[in-house]
Amino acid sequence: MTRPTTATEFFEELAERGHEPLLDGTTGTLRLDIQDGKRVEHWFVAINRGDVKVSHDDAKADAVVRADRTLFDGLASGRINAMAAFLRGVIEPRGDLGLVIAFQRLFPGPPSSSRKAATAGRRSP
Predicted local confidence at residue 110, as pLDDT? 84
| Mean pLDDT (whole number) for 14-22 | 94
Q: Which long-range contacts (CB under 8 A, 24 or more apart) does 2-8 make?
A: 3/77, 3/78, 3/108, 3/111, 3/114, 4/76, 4/77, 4/108, 5/73, 5/76, 5/77, 6/73, 6/76, 6/77, 7/32, 7/34, 7/43, 7/69, 7/72, 7/73, 7/75, 7/76
Average pLDDT of the chain is 87
pLDDT in tens, 76-118: 999 999 989 989 999 989 999 999 999 999 998 887 755 444 4
Give the right CATH number for 7-109 from 3.10.250.10, 3.30.1050.10, 3.40.50.970, 3.40.50.300.
Answer: 3.30.1050.10
Domains of the chain, residue spans: 7-109
Q: What is residue 109's predicted lDDT score, i.e. its pLDDT?
A: 85
- pLDDT category, 2, cuts 50, 70, 90? low
